[in-house]
Structure 1
């Protein structure tokens, strides 16, 4: 009976999620599989990587983005209709145009980003840029309405807006990649018509040695690292809130809502610091997998601050947890009604 009720509750919760975003996430899952097959059967490459790697990565990322927003909107009780329309416009104005261009260009075997080779390529990149700006604004708008919701507990009420703020910062890193590199700026100043304007690498050309799956540069800085890390705060921080709530059933020190909320805020500080750290590292032309001593020191300092903050919160909370009642000594009278 309990299992049946749980299934009914799950179905009820699932049906409350934003429909268009949920269907979008399902479509991204299908595209992820199709792109994975493309990586296997299509031997064409761009800058040393399979042409279907970019659709594969973006489909996964957009799928996570869509399903997370679908769930968040499903948790709302105020301005639900406004949020429904914002979520629907996000699908039609942001996700579909950008992933369509990326997939179309991959099928053609050409670059989707920074490509000004032909009028068609430039138009495709402009469509992506417009969709990205619209996506940023829509995500910001959704975040404003989500902040005022009261349906979730206080820890989640902090996790959602903090995750959205850091996610918006991560999305903003994408704009840094569209700026001309020093060499490109010099060419443009000389009146040259360039086929490529913008880059994700710092301190080296795009297309060098790269990490598997992610494709991040291993010989130079890569702005995509901070873009990826920041963007997915949207999923990470709500998961932290959910995890803490589940752990509170086993660990009394986490039972207080104030304790879990404070830990979520510390986690958000740490995640924002991590995003800033990998952005700083990339802008110095340094690959993620080859940090120098200064980067390692900064990372250790960040980890120390986060650990110290969490330790203080848990120590204060532990003092407030009532001590468990001690067992009666042998031979003491049994409680009334136990005989």
Structure 2
């Protein structure tokens, strides 16, 4: 038997990813204790808040990715190695995150103040890019899978693809902002290169717990929204399957598949909208007229697509 592949399972069976998830649960408990007993702050936020948020996000992502790899019927060995690469890259990132923030008491992302800060920042970026590449490769593998349920098949493919896009959105945070470009033009070497916020400094007024800027754009919003498509869309497919017990129209897998595809298009539209809004320096809580119009258009398109999907009980011959 191949120790890397549990051939009789289609569930969560990837040991390195599950070890990563278990480690995140332990570190999350540590971070939660830090929030209670450690009153230090960093960039106007409790110093343990960012580690706690990252442990939750990475832990959930690891479990989801392990489940996705368990669904592979082709390229399962390659999927196992890609999951292991992801676990190693994100495991290193989380170790450095805790060391830099909780132990050293210094900011992690964009910090180039000292050689040590720059080295840690670069290592974390390398780990993130490694994880992004592994996720992108797994998304490609999912394109070649044929699961029994068409709705779940569509959800896995779209969720993985949108998650890759959400990770890619983070690249927009690592370029210099206007203030940093001005420092370069003046011959100075900025100690910070990149930012979460757009149009305002990092660390300003933000939403409770999340910290997303309430006075300017914030690229963490589309990044967060995109990466969790890998969980949301399969949950949509699963929810539709459960609702089929009560609503006969959903018994058709083609109806459920079309509804999942409609949800995927709407999710993609919202990802683009949130990125556009943030890049214009606009706060999530203060949308302008054009943002509201675009949002209403996405809602209308999803509503129309859903109505059309519910009217289709079987595929037309040229679509099968």
Could you state the TM-score of these two structures normalised by the residue count of structure 1? Answer: 0.87
Question: Contact conserved, 2:11 with 2:71, CA < 8 A, in 1?
Answer: no
Q: Which residue does 2:121 correspond to in 1?
A: 125
Question: Contact conserved, 1:75 with 1:152, CA < 8 A, in 2?
Answer: no
Question: CA RMSD for the aligned pairs?
Answer: 1.7
Cα distance in 1 for partners of 2:117, 2:49 equals 19
Q: Which residue does 2:301 correspond to in 1?
A: 305
1:105 aligns to 2:100 (yes or no)? yes
Cα distance in 1 for partners of 2:101, 2:75 equals 39
Q: Which residue does 1:96 correspond to in 2?
A: 91
Question: Contact conserved, 1:248 with 1:255, CA < 8 A, in 2?
Answer: yes
Aligned positions, number: 307
Q: Which residue does 1:6 correspond to in 2?
A: none
Runs of 4+ in 1 over 3 A off after TM superposition: 12-16
Cα distance in 2 for partners of 1:280, 1:224 equals 12
CA offset digits 1:264-310 (Å, max 9, x no partner) = 11000001111111111111111111112221111111101101110
Question: Contact conserved, 2:85 with 2:130, CA < 8 A, in 1?
Answer: no
Q: Which residue does 2:3 correspond to in 1?
A: none
> Structure 1 residue 14: deviation in Å?
8.0
Q: Which residue does 2:288 correspond to in 1?
A: 292
Q: Provide closer, same or farther for how the CA distance between residues 224 and 15 of structure 1 changes in structure 2, counting only shifts above 3 A.
A: closer
Q: Which residue does 2:174 correspond to in 1?
A: 178
User: Aligned with 2:312: secondary structure?
Assistant: helix
- Point out where structure 1 has 5 or more consecutive residues left out of the alignment: 1-11, 321-339
Larger Rg: 1
Cα distance in 2 for partners of 1:140, 1:71 equals 16
User: Aligned with 2:145: secondary structure?
Assistant: coil
Q: Which structure 2 residues correspond to residues 243-282 of structure 1 after superposition, within 5 A? A: 243-282=239-278
> Structure 1 residue 198: deviation in Å?
0.6
> Structure 1 residue 152: deviation in Å?
4.2
Q: Which residue does 2:67 correspond to in 1?
A: 71
Cα distance in 2 for partners of 1:276, 1:151 equals 29
Deviates more, 1:23-32 or 1:212-221: 23-32
Question: Contact conserved, 1:222 with 1:282, CA < 8 A, in 2?
Answer: yes
Q: Which residue does 2:80 correspond to in 1?
A: 84
- Point out where structure 2 has 5 or more consecutive residues left out of the alignment: 1-7
